Structure 1
Amino acid sequence: MNKIYVLDTNVLLQDPMAIYSFAENEVVIPSVVLEEIDAKKRYTDEIGRNARHVARLLDKLREAGRLDQGVVLETGGVVRVELNHSSMSRLQSHFHEMTNDNRILAVALNLQQEEDESAAPRPVILVSKDALIRVKADAFGLRAEDFLSDRVVREYSSFYLGYETLQVPPEVLKAFYTNRKLPLPIHFPNQTFCPHQFLILKDQCNPSASAIGKVDADARMLEMLIVSDEPVWGIKPRNAQQRMAIEMLLREEIPLVTMTGKAGTGKTLLALAAGLLQIEDLQKYKKLLVARPIVPLGKDIGFLPGEKEEKLRPWMQPIYDNLEYLFNTKKTGDLDKILAGMGSIQVEALTYIRGRSIPEQFIIIDEAQNLTKHEVKTILTRVGEASKIVLMGDPEQIDHPYLDASNNGLTYVVEMFKNQKLAGHIKLEKGERSVLAQLAADIL
C-alpha cells in the first residue's frame, strides 16, 4: 500500500534530496514549507545553501509538470506541493496560535481525514526532525516519524570505536610477542577487521596479561605498535586509547585521523602535542593549522570588536588553553610572544578555510561534531599534498540545531572512512582532565 509523507521544513533544510528517500510513495510539501525555505535562502551558512538547493531542485521539477498536481520522480514516487487542506479547525481548540508548525500539522491532519473517508485509504505520515511536532501529531492520532535517511548509523551505540578487545589463548599472545606480528586470517578466520583498527589481546587464562596491536593497511596482519612510550612534547599517554591515538597521530601513512570522546579525554591536547613534535622537532610539516567551527553554546554574544585575531580569540580560547599548558606559560601574554616568534602555528575559524589548498601542514579540526556532511567534505577536499588532518569532537555534545550523534559530519567521516587505508579512528574512553571532570561527564 502506498503512503503519503508530509515533510516538515527542517527535513529539507537538513537534506535537500530528502524527497527521493521515500521510494514509490507520495511526498507532500505544504505551501508553508515553501515560505519557510524562502525565508532562509539568503542565509550564508549551510542552512541557506540547502534552502537554495531545494529551490533549484523544485524549479527543475516544474519542467516535468505542475507541482500542485504532482510530479513523478525517478524513484517512482510523486512529489506534490499542497495548496489546500490548510484549515485549522481541528487544531484551534487545542493550539490557538497559527504558527508554521501548526499549519504543517493541520495539512497532515486534514489529509489523513480525507484519506480515512476514501474508498482505499492510504496512511498519512508526518516526517519531522522536530520532536515536539511529532509529539503534537501523536496526540491527534497522526503517525509521525523522524527523518532517518540522513543518519550514517541508526544508533550511536553501534558507532565504530576503532578498537576491539579479544580473549585469546596464551600461545597466541606469546606468538604475538615473539614475532611482533600475527596473521589475522589464521588466528581469527571468522572475523573481519578495518585497516588501522587496534586490537587488545587478553590472555584467557591470565586476565592481567595483555597486548595492544594495530591492524595493517590491508587488514590481514596485526602488528606491534611502533611508537614508543616516551612523552610527546611533554605529554605521555595515560591509558590504552590515548596510546592508540598517539600511534595514529605520529604515523605518516595515516593522513586522516578521527578521534571521538567525552570532554576531558585528551583529544585536543594529544593532537596539539603530536603536531608540535612533527613540526618543530621532526620538521615533517611546515605549519600547524588549528581550526574549529563557530557554533556558540547558549545565546550568541553577537558581533565582537577588534581585528580578526581579536574577534576569534574567545572562540579559539580552548585551543589557547591547551597551548598554554604545552608551553608551560605562567604570565598573560607569554603564549602570544611564543606563537609570534615561532610563526608555524596558525589558529583559524573554519569560515576562512573554504577555497584554500593546504599542502604540507598538520591540520587539526576541533569540535568537528558541529559540522554537516557538506562542510566536512569541503574541509577534507582542501587537504593538499603531504598534509595530515585530524578531526575530533564529541558526537554526544552537539550545538547545531539540525544535527545529532548519528548524522553529523564527524560521525559521517568515521563510518565512511573506516575501511579505507588512509584513515584511522579511535574513541577515547577515559577522562584524564580531573576526577571531577570525569564524574561530571559520566553522570550529568
Structure 2
Amino acid sequence: MKTFRICDDSVFCADSMALNYVGNGATLVIPFGVLESLRRKQTSKGVEGRNCREFFSLLKQKELEGCVGTAIQGDTSILIWRESKQIMKEVTTFHTTDNVSSCLVAAAFELGEETDCNTVIVTANSLVHIIVGSFSLSVEYFRPRPFRAEDVYPGCGEVQLSSTMVSALADGDVVPFSAALFPNQYYKAYSPDGAYAYGRYDAKSHSLVPLLPAASTIPGWISPRNSEQTFALDALLNDQISLVSLVGQAGTGKTLLALAVGLYKSLDDMVYNKVLVSRPTMPLGNDLGFLPGSVEDKLGPWMHPIADNVEYLLKNKKVGRANLRNFEDLLNMDFIVTEPLSFIRGRSIHNQFLIVDEAQNLSLHELKTILTRAGKGTKIILAGDPYQIDAPYLTTATSGFVQIVKKFRDESIAAHITLKAVVRSILAERAATIL
C-alpha cells in the first residue's frame, strides 16, 4: 500500500537537506501551511533562516527535475498539498493552537479519505508530536541523518609497498604511486619486513614524495607524537597548501599543532606577518549574557583556550626571543591577533596564518565567507570536532566544516588530516573513549 509522509516545518529547519532522504521511499507531502511557515522563517538571522532558504533552493531544483507535483495520482516523489477550507475548519474546531499543526492533521485526514493510503506525519517538534498523536494519527519523530566518522574523508592511511620502495622513500626519494584517490593524501608506507616511511601523494607526478624535514620536529617548538600529527605538521608547514583542515576529538592536538606552526612560520621563518586566530563565540551550557568592556575584553574569555596553548608552547620553547615570555607579549607585539568571526566579513587578509578553531560550529555559508577573505600569501587552518557541535540547528551531517572537507578533497591546494589518538593526558583519553 502506498504511504504518504507528511512533514512539518521543524524538519527542514533542522536539516535543509532532509528533502533528499526524509521520504524514505514513500511520497513526501508538504502542506501549503508548512511552506508558508518556512517562508516567514527564511528572513530570520542565523542557521534556521539559512536552512529555510536552502530548503527552497533545493525544492526549486527538485521541481526542475520533475520530482514535485500537486496531483495525488501523479508519480512524483514530492507532493505539495493544499488543504481544503472545510477540513481545516473541522480540525480547528477541536484544535486551536498553531496553524502548522492544523495543516498537518488536515492533510493526513484528507489524504487518508481520498486515497485509502497510509499516512505518517514527520516532525522534529515535540509539541506537534503530542498534538498530532492526540488525533490518533501515525506520527514519527524526525532525527537528522546520523554522522559517522567514516563518512569524513580521512586524508591519510597506510599502504604496503616493496622494501625497495619504502627504503627509497625513507632516503628522501620520490616513489611512483597511483593508488591514491585525492591530492595530498598522506600515507604510512610499510614493507613486509616491518620498515616504514611517510609520504605525501603528489597528484601531478602520481608519486609519493617524502615529507618536509621539519615535519619530524620543529626545533624549539614541538615534536609529533604519532603518525597523524606528523602528517598534520607537514601539511601545516607546506607553503604550497593554502587550506588545511584538522578533524579530531578533544585532546588530539589540533589547535596546539596549528599554533606551533603558525608561530614558527611567523617568528622564526618570517613567512607570515602574524598569526590571526578566530573562533565562534558559542557557549557550552547556559550563556552568561553580555560581557563588559571593549571588543578585546569581550573576546577574552572565548580566547582562553588559545592563550593556554600558547603559554604551553612558550614555556616549553628551548630557544627564541627573550622578550616573548607569555601570550600577552605576543599580543602586544602584534605577532598574534584574536578577532571575532563577526568582524571578518568584507576584509582582505594578506600574508597571515589564519586559524579558525571550533570550526564545527560554523555553517557552510559562514565558512565560505571566511575562505573568501584569504588574500595573497595567506594560509587558512580549520580545526574542529564534528561530534562537539554546540550551534543550534547545526548537526554533524549539516556542519559546514564537514562539507568543506568533502568539497576540497580534490583540490591540490588543500589537505585534510583526521587525528585519532588523544595525547593530552590519560584522563582525557579515557574520557573521550568511554563517555
Q: Per the shorter chain, which TM-score range?
A: 0.7 to 0.9
The more displaced of 131-140 and 355-364 is: 131-140
Alpha-carbon separation, structure 1, partners of 2:100 and 2:364 = 27
Normalising by the residue count of structure 2, what TM-score does the alignment of the two structures yield? 0.80
Alpha-carbon separation, structure 2, partners of 1:279 and 1:347 = 15
Alpha-carbon separation, structure 2, partners of 1:15 and 1:441 = 27
Q: In the alignment, what sits opposite 1:264?
A: 251
For structure 1, which runs of at least 5 residues remain unmatched after alignment?
60-68, 186-190
Alpha-carbon separation, structure 2, partners of 1:380 and 1:405 = 20
Within 5 Å, which residues of 2 pair with 1:287-298?
A: 287-298=274-285
Alpha-carbon separation, structure 2, partners of 1:238 and 1:20 = 42
- Residue 138 of structure 2 aligns with an amino acid whose one-letter code is G
Task: Go from structure 1 to structure 2 and tell me whether the alpha carbon gap of 1:427 and 1:115 turns closer, same or farther (over 3 Å shift).
Answer: same
| Contact 1:14/1:47 (<8 A) preserved | yes
Normalising by the residue count of structure 1, what TM-score does the alignment of the two structures yield? 0.79
| Contact 2:81/2:107 (<8 A) preserved | no
Task: Go from structure 1 to structure 2 and tell me whether the alpha carbon gap of 1:133 and 1:237 turns closer, same or farther (over 3 Å shift).
Answer: farther
Q: In the alignment, what sits opposite 1:13?
A: 13
Alpha-carbon separation, structure 2, partners of 1:124 and 1:274 = 57
Q: In the alignment, what sits opposite 2:191?
A: 203
- Residue 181 of structure 1 aligns with an amino acid whose one-letter code is V
**Aligned counterpart for 2:33 among listed residues 31, 39, 46:** 31
**Aligned counterpart for 2:261 among listed residues 257, 269, 274:** 274
Q: In the alignment, what sits opposite 1:47?
A: 48
| Contact 2:34/2:100 (<8 A) preserved | yes
Alpha-carbon separation, structure 1, partners of 2:110 and 2:235 = 59
- Residue 6 of structure 1 aligns with an amino acid whose one-letter code is I
**Aligned counterpart for 2:169 among listed residues 176, 181, 192:** 176
**Aligned counterpart for 2:376 among listed residues 385, 394, 397:** 385
- Structure 1 residue 357 displacement after superposition: 1.3
Alpha-carbon separation, structure 2, partners of 1:212 and 1:134 = 54
Alpha-carbon separation, structure 2, partners of 1:41 and 1:428 = 38
Residue 401 in structure 1 maps to residue 397 in structure 2: no
The more displaced of 274-283 and 256-265 is: 274-283
Q: In the alignment, what sits opposite 1:63?
A: none
Task: Go from structure 1 to structure 2 and tell me whether the alpha carbon gap of 1:293 and 1:89 turns closer, same or farther (over 3 Å shift).
Answer: same
- When the two chains are superposed, the root-mean-square deviation of aligned CA atoms in Å is 4.0
- Residue 376 of structure 2 aligns with an amino acid whose one-letter code is E
Aligned residue for 1:328, secondary structure, equals helix
| Contact 1:365/1:389 (<8 A) preserved | yes
- Structure 1 residue 10 displacement after superposition: 3.4
Aligned residue for 1:201, secondary structure, equals strand
Q: In the alignment, what sits opposite 1:238?
A: 225
Aligned residue for 1:403, secondary structure, equals coil
Aligned residue for 2:393, secondary structure, equals coil
Alpha-carbon separation, structure 1, partners of 2:11 and 2:311 = 42
- Residue 365 of structure 1 aligns with an amino acid whose one-letter code is V
Q: In the alignment, what sits opposite 2:422?
A: 431
- Residue 10 of structure 1 aligns with an amino acid whose one-letter code is S
Aligned residue for 1:343, secondary structure, equals coil
Aligned residue for 1:391, secondary structure, equals strand
Residue 344 in structure 1 maps to residue 335 in structure 2: yes
Post-superposition Cα deviations, 1:374-431, rounded to whole Å, max 9, x if no partner, equal 1111111111121100001001111112222222111111011111111000011111
Alpha-carbon separation, structure 2, partners of 1:192 and 1:111 = 51
Alpha-carbon separation, structure 1, partners of 2:287 and 2:396 = 22
Task: Go from structure 1 to structure 2 and tell me whether the alpha carbon gap of 1:210 and 1:121 turns closer, same or farther (over 3 Å shift).
Answer: farther
Q: In the alignment, what sits opposite 2:113?
A: 117
| Contact 1:108/1:125 (<8 A) preserved | no
Residue 370 in structure 1 maps to residue 361 in structure 2: yes
Alpha-carbon separation, structure 2, partners of 1:379 and 1:201 = 35
| Contact 2:247/2:418 (<8 A) preserved | yes
Task: Go from structure 1 to structure 2 and tell me whether the alpha carbon gap of 1:389 and 1:179 turns closer, same or farther (over 3 Å shift).
Answer: closer
Post-superposition Cα deviations, 1:217-266, rounded to whole Å, max 9, x if no partner, equal 43711111123323355211111111110000010110000000010111
Residue 223 in structure 1 maps to residue 216 in structure 2: no
- Structure 1 residue 180 displacement after superposition: 1.9
Paired residues, what number? 411
Alpha-carbon separation, structure 2, partners of 1:58 and 1:201 = 46
Residue 304 in structure 1 maps to residue 291 in structure 2: yes
Q: In the alignment, what sits opposite 2:320?
A: none
Alpha-carbon separation, structure 2, partners of 1:232 and 1:223 = 22
Aligned residue for 2:309, secondary structure, equals helix
| Contact 1:233/1:276 (<8 A) preserved | no
Alpha-carbon separation, structure 2, partners of 1:296 and 1:347 = 17
Aligned residue for 1:157, secondary structure, equals helix
- Structure 1 residue 283 displacement after superposition: 1.3
Alpha-carbon separation, structure 2, partners of 1:236 and 1:245 = 11
For structure 2, which runs of at least 5 residues remain unmatched after alignment?
61-69, 317-323
Task: Go from structure 1 to structure 2 and tell me whether the alpha carbon gap of 1:162 and 1:133 turns closer, same or farther (over 3 Å shift).
Answer: farther
Alpha-carbon separation, structure 2, partners of 1:183 and 1:353 = 43
